[in-house]
Amino acid sequence: MEPSTVSSCILTLHREFAAYTTQRLQELGLSFGLIYFVIYVGKHPDCTPSELTKALHLDWGHSQRSLNKLAEDGFLTKEKNGRSYHLKLTQRGENAFVVCHQVFIGWDAQSLGGLTAQERQQLLTLLQKAVQKKVCK
């Protein structure tokens, strides 16, 4: 049965993206739930856990557990600087950062392969417009 609402389409795409991503990140020892942490720290080196938590709209406890896991697994370092910690990717984290970007590009190419370039751009524009509106603030 085809999804009949935008929300059901989004959920279907999310499940497919999670499966695709999980399959590719397993080789690195990285789980789907940690991908956004790696991407954020990769784009914002030397950020603090507080900045990351706020930017990703996360619960503090979940954020801290995830950052500790990434540090234990060698993806990032937490360096104390005064009263706060600063996050940086290790070489392993930098490699994961590159793979994460490749996963996004690969999934887009695979899942949107049936669309023309114009249709892909139109879809992206409409989704960006919906995201900017935000239902839950």
Question: Region 108-137: what's the mean pLDDT?
Answer: 86
Question: Computed from CA positions of residues 96, 97, 100, 106, in that sequence, does the dihedral angle turn out positive or negative?
Answer: negative
Half-sphere exposure of 114 (CA within 13 A, CB side): 1
**Within a domain: residue 5?**
no
Question: Region 76-89: what's the mean pLDDT?
Answer: 94
Residue of higher predicted confidence among 52 and 10: 52
Q: Which of 94, 103, 31 is nearest to 65 (CA)?
A: 31
**Within a domain: residue 117?**
yes
Q: How many domains does the chain divide into?
A: 1
**Within a domain: residue 1?**
no
**Within a domain: residue 29?**
yes
CATH code, domain with 102 = 1.10.10.10
- Local confidence band at 135 (pLDDT 50, 70, 90 cut-offs): low
pLDDT at 136: 56
pTM given for the model: 0.83
Domain that holds residue 71: 12-133
Question: Region 87-104: what's the mean pLDDT?
Answer: 96
Is pLDDT above 90 for 20? yes
pLDDT at 46: 95
